[in-house]
Structure 1
Amino acid sequence: MLAASVLFDSGLEHYRGQFFNRAMYTPIVVSSVTLAASLHGAGDTDPSSSRVRHGVQALAGLTGLIGFGFHAYNVGKREGGYSFQNLFYSAPIGAPMALTLAGVLGVVAERVRDADPDEPRLAGLPAGRSLAVATAGMLAGTTLEAGLLHFRGAFQNPAMFVPVTLPPLAAALLVRAATKPEGASQAGAKWGMWAVSAMGVGGVALHAYGVARMMGGWANWRQNLIDGPPLPAPPSFSGVALGGLAALELIERSRFRF
């Protein structure tokens, strides 16, 4: 889901930028390959990991970091440097990190797939708890990007406060779940992840409503899709939240090891 969000969002935003730099094709190509690798992994019944998929997901993570550097440079080189004006209207500084998050979750999936099924570990730590903390950090980062752009929109619709309040709360519940003793209920964290996931899907509808409110509405979709609220952006929250649900499942599974 994260890879798909990056594919359509970067394609739309870079089309608006007329691909003036050839490097702007890179996230489209890499996110497409990442999406294909993720779908292949989801349907692969072989319990072992794939070096090809692992390499693709690692490439996605690296590409996102490089893209962040490009966007940060784009903001900084403008007159006034790192001002709110430039952060609002130049290349979205945090957007490339969504591809990095997709890559990180993909790498984790391959590592867990190849780990001891009774006690999967990441970097020597329990996989579920490690992934829960990492996912909480991902939610915090995604919230910062959404907060910046919704601040640009002056929070004119009260619903615009949801992406900057619900995800941090869910992230806190996820961190708390990672610190609970084995056997403790994870119901609160699960509800938080499902709520964030639903918010991401609902955000597409709200952004579509925002496009409809622009001059010409959907009849002028060629311009309003580019200049209005980005339709593919909200599902990035859903993708991260699904990673949180996977972490909670791994935590619960550890109860049953012998």
Structure 2
Amino acid sequence: MTSQRLAGLLYAVAGVTAVAALALRPAKHETAGTQEIGAIRDAFARPVRSPALRTPRVRAHIAAAQRFNHSSALLALSVLADSAMEHYRGSFDNPAMFTPLVSGTLSLLAGLHGGRDHRQQTHQVRHAIYLAAAAAGIAGTGFHLYNVTKRPGGWSWNNLFHAAPLGAPMALLLSGALGAVAEQLRDEPTHDPQLFGTQAGRALGLLVSAGLIGTAGEAALLHFRGAFQHRAMYAPVSVPPLAAVLLAQAALAVPRERWFTRFWLRATTALGFVGAGFHARGIARRQGGWRNWSQNIFSGPPLPAPPSFSALALAGLAALRLRERET
């Protein structure tokens, strides 16, 4: 990849970031003479919550949406870093390879913005960004599937191991889905929020459970390729699936306090960050270590992948809290 193309990529991402930041700014209604004063005041003012947000049920309702925004942001960051590395290694041969970088950047900004938004209404710009990210994830899955099947041998273990990873664009789909349901949750009645025709806690729990199963499946494929050389490589194929089963059981059963499910989801959250440390250690152990980072981050274990477990587990904790309050 030439330096001109890399510079163009950086300028494009910076431009998208600036446009998104302007689009996500809350609207102001000051006159021309008070705009500067209003900007300074808003920069230092604490978020104002309406009296309705002081009730415990409404706080739980909006807090769950904010946690899903944060989870979407963390997952988008993982996708952005991973796709930037892998598509850079592929020299961005197809212009569509820029899509996850743009979409991931926008989803990251939307998630950070939504995590600070206490309003009980959907933010239309954020919602559109999340839906676009989900659509990009679906399209990316199709592209990666085509990349696997067009290789000699078609659908085979060798091509699944070494062709475009199927799980990567699905992570972008999950990031968009988590953010979109967070925005939809804000518009639901506070006394009994509903999603997809059922109680919000149940629907969100099942969604996160499916995401954990899919992410664990991708980890299982890549760790199988690595022949499970280290015992710690069994952790992401055992801890998250159990968390998914416990969360699904909590979503489908009668609502009640489930301390063990909460404990296991927290363990899964920690696993994601610990896994990033193990991957960093794997890179350091390659020839040249981090001094040869420009080659080893591409040939070593993917550094941005493990935090996706943390993002989904945090969303699962938010869904569990909401489920425990339902009747």
TM range (shorter): over 0.9
Amino acid aligned to 1:209: R
Q: 1:243 aligns with which of 296, 301, 315?
A: 315
Q: 1:161 aligns with which of 230, 234, 258?
A: 234
Q: 1:178 aligns with which of 251, 255, 267?
A: 251
Amino acid aligned to 1:248: L
Amino acid aligned to 2:305: A
Q: Does residue 1:100 correspond to 2:173, yes or no?
A: yes
- Contact (CA 8 Å) 1:63, 1:100: kept in 2 or not? yes
Q: Does residue 1:47 correspond to 2:157, yes or no?
A: no
Distance 2:253 2:150 in 1: 46
- Contact (CA 8 Å) 1:2, 1:236: kept in 2 or not? yes
Unmatched 5+ stretches in structure 1: none
Q: 2:189 aligns with which of 102, 106, 116?
A: 116
Residue 216 of structure 1: aligned partner: 288
Residue 207 of structure 1: aligned partner: 279
Distance 1:98 1:179 in 2: 25
SS in 2 for 1:79: coil
Quote the offset at 1:180 in angstroms: 2.5
Distance 1:76 1:124 in 2: 37
Alignment of 1:54-65 (within 5 A): 54-65=127-138
Identity %: 52
Amino acid aligned to 2:230: N
| TM superposition score normalised by structure 2 | 0.76
How many residues were matched structurally?
Answer: 254
Residue 260 of structure 2: aligned partner: 188
Quote the offset at 1:16 in angstroms: 1.1
Q: Does residue 1:33 correspond to 2:100, yes or no?
A: no
How big is each residue's C-alpha offset from its partner over 1:140-182, in whole Å with a ceiling of 9 and x where there is no partner?
1001111100111000011000000111111111011112323
Distance 2:293 2:169 in 1: 25
SS in 1 for 2:151: coil
Quote the offset at 1:193 in angstroms: 1.0
Unmatched 5+ stretches in structure 2: 1-73
Distance 2:94 2:305 in 1: 22
Q: Does residue 1:20 correspond to 2:96, yes or no?
A: no
Distance 1:96 1:139 in 2: 15
Amino acid aligned to 1:52: V
SS in 1 for 2:167: coil
More deviation in 43-52 or 86-95? 43-52
Distance 2:103 2:175 in 1: 11
Q: 2:202 aligns with which of 107, 129, 137?
A: 129
Alignment of 1:74-93 (within 5 A): 74-93=147-166
Amino acid aligned to 2:204: L
Distance 1:140 1:254 in 2: 25
Q: Does residue 1:149 correspond to 2:222, yes or no?
A: yes
Quote the offset at 1:46 in angstroms: 2.1
- Contact (CA 8 Å) 1:128, 1:251: kept in 2 or not? yes
Quote the offset at 1:188 in angstroms: 1.4
Distance 2:141 2:252 in 1: 31
SS in 2 for 1:96: helix
| TM superposition score normalised by structure 1 | 0.96
Amino acid aligned to 1:130: A
Distance 1:186 1:70 in 2: 41
Residue 270 of structure 2: aligned partner: 198
Distance 2:119 2:202 in 1: 25
Quote the offset at 1:45 in angstroms: 2.7
Q: Does residue 1:253 correspond to 2:290, yes or no?
A: no
Distance 1:75 1:93 in 2: 9
Quote the offset at 1:95 in angstroms: 1.0
State the structure with more CA Rg.
2
Quote the offset at 1:254 in angstroms: 2.1
Quote the offset at 1:246 in angstroms: 1.0
Q: Which runs of 4+ in 1 moved over 4 A?
A: none
